[in-house]
């Protein structure tokens, strides 16, 4: 075997990556930190208990930050440079990273790290934190067991993925679940799960695997349920069509701030698909495919919670008809104890 062919053990890469990450490494090791945001070599913000603060850390030399970015890229077998200035990656501990640098970023290298939480969130924790109530959990348990199609929607970092993970614990263990993600984040507790992950491919696009392709594979893998980590583009149409063709009980998340926006956003994403479908038909499909929208929000005090659990009842002209089952009272109150998710009194026929 030629000298350069001797494989370097993964642990060696991990150790050298820890060294290259410099001031980021102790922040990664600190379990009280949930997010790390590097804005150039001299400013590193962190999120602790849902609040952003300056970590006071910095890179001694600006070139060390570029080395850290390149170290991350190398670890996942990719390139980051002015020619390829954006990168999505995962660190050895599972943390999700996005790197962007000039010319795509105006004033230097930015790295955002969403730390992988070792402890899995539970329903009990969400109830203790006031993010959900027992009554709402029982309602959601019924919608999951009746195989309703559910979308969790909310702003960035509002707890969508965490809630999807918790919702998946309501699925009975005898079901075969296929999970499709851009970058693996979900950690289901069920025994029978197939995880599929998209891949960006090399610089020429070789080896690229899209969410859409994984979606088609998943249909041939005999799913009882499909969980799509996040809807971002044309794959929304594939999901809607699967949902309307007998794949009940599917779940996904998307970025939107209000249940009505959520449905419109999914409609717009489905229009991005390369399959042309009349807009009116698409709207009808969205209205019949999605049965429950759960809206999450991140509040000023750093906490996260559910603001709406709504049933999609159909269409009236071009408008979606939504009926709220649970609503957060005093959503805009600065006092966390005043915010409460309450049942509206409306219970859909499941």
Interface with ligand ATP by CB under 6 A: which residues? Answer: 34, 50, 114, 117, 126, 129, 131, 154, 156-162, 303-304
Cα–Cα distance for residue pair 284/286, rounded to 1 Å: 5
Residue 94 vs 108, nearer CB to Mg ion: 94
Element (H, E) at 325: strand 319-329
Q: What is the DSSP letter of 159?
A: S
**Residue 61 burial (10 A CB sphere; 0-12, 13-18, 19+):** exposed
Residue 161 vs 273, nearer CB to Mg ion: 161
Provide the total of helices (H) and of strands (E) in the chain, helices listed first: 10, 15
Residue 149 vs 161, nearer CB to ligand ATP: 161
Closest CA to 124 of 169, 90, 84: 169
- Range list of H helices, the chain: 10-20, 24-29, 62-75, 123-128, 134-145, 160-168, 211-219, 235-244, 259-271, 279-289
Which one of 12-20, 135-143, 152-160, 280-288 is the stretch in contact with Mg ion (CB under 5 A)? Answer: 152-160
Cα pseudo-dihedral 73, 78, 83, 84, rounded to 10: -80
Smallest gap from Cβ 36 to Mg ion, in A, equals 16
Count residues binding Mg ion (CB under 5 A): 2
Cβ atoms of residues 270 and 234 within 8 Å? yes
| Residue 159 near which of Mg ion, ligand ATP, none (CB within 5-8 Å, type-dependent) | ligand ATP
| Residue 34 near which of ligand ATP, Mg ion, none (CB within 5-8 Å, type-dependent) | ligand ATP
Q: What angle do CA 206, 67, 86 make, to 5 degrees?
A: 40
Smallest gap from Cβ 96 to Mg ion, in A, equals 9
The SS3 call for residue 270 is helix
Smallest gap from Cβ 230 to ligand ATP, in A, equals 6
Smallest gap from Cβ 331 to ligand ATP, in A, equals 15
* DSSP bridge pairs for 113: 36, 97
Smallest gap from Cβ 157 to ligand ATP, in A, equals 4
| Residue 57 near which of ligand ATP, Mg ion, none (CB within 5-8 Å, type-dependent) | none
Cβ atoms of residues 183 and 88 within 8 Å? yes
Residue 303 vs 331, nearer CB to ligand ATP: 303
Residue 161 near Mg ion by CB under 5 A: yes
Smallest gap from Cβ 220 to ligand ATP, in A, equals 28
Q: Measured at CB, which residue is nearest to ligand ATP? A: 159
The SS3 call for residue 71 is helix
| Residue 249 near which of Mg ion, ligand ATP, none (CB within 5-8 Å, type-dependent) | none
Which one of 76-84, 96-104, 157-165, 274-282 is the stretch in contact with Mg ion (CB under 5 A)? Answer: 157-165
Residue 162 vs 241, nearer CB to Mg ion: 162
Q: How far is CA 283 from the centre of its chain?
A: 24
Smallest gap from Cβ 349 to ligand ATP, in A, equals 29
Residue 225 vs 304, nearer CB to ligand ATP: 304
Residues lying near Mg ion in the complex (CB under 5 A) are found at: 160-161
């Amino acid at each position: 075997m030629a000298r350069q062919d001797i494989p370097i053990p993964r642990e060696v890469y991990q150790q050298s990556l820890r060294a290259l990450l410099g001031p980021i490494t102790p922040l990664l090791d600190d379990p009280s930190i949930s997010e790390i945001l590097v804005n150039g070599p001299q400013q590193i913000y962190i999120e602790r208990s849902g609040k952003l603060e300056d970590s006071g850390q910095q890179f001694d030399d600006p070139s060390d930050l570029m080395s850290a970015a390149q170290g991350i890229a190398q670890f996942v077998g990719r390139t980051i440079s002015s020619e390829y200035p954006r990168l999505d990656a995962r660190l050895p501990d599972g943390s999700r990273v996005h790197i962007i640098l000039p010319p795509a970023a105006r004033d230097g290298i930015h790295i955002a790290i969403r730390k992988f939480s070792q402890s899995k969130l539970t329903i009990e924790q969400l109830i203790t934190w006031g993010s959900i109530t027992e009554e709402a959990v029982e309602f959601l348990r019924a919608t999951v067991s009746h195989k309703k199609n559910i979308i969790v929607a909310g702003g960035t970092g509002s707890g969508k993925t965490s809630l999807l993970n918790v919702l998946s614990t309501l699925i009975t263990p005898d079901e075969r679940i296929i999970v499709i993600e851009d970058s693996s984040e979900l950690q289901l507790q069920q025994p029978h799960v197939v995880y599929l992950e998209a891949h960006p491919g090399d610089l020429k696009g070789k080896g690229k695997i899209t969410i859409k392709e994984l979606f088609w594979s998943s249909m041939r893998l005999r799913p009882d349920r499909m969980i799509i980590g996040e809807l971002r583009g044309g794959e929304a149409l594939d999901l809607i069509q699967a949902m309307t063709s007998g794949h009940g009980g599917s779940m996904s998340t998307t970025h939107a701030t209000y249940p009505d926006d959520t449905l419109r956003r999914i409609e717009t994403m489905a229009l991005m698909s390369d399959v042309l479908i009349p807009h009116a038909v698409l709207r009808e499909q969205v209205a019949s495919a999605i049965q429950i929208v759960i809206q999450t929000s991140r509040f000023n005090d750093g906490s996260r919670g559910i603001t709406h659990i709504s049933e999609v009842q159909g269409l009236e002209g071009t408008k979606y008809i939504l009926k709220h089952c649970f609503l957060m009272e005093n959503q805009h109150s600065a006092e966390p104890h005043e915010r409460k998710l309450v049942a509206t009194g409306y219970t859909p026929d499941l």
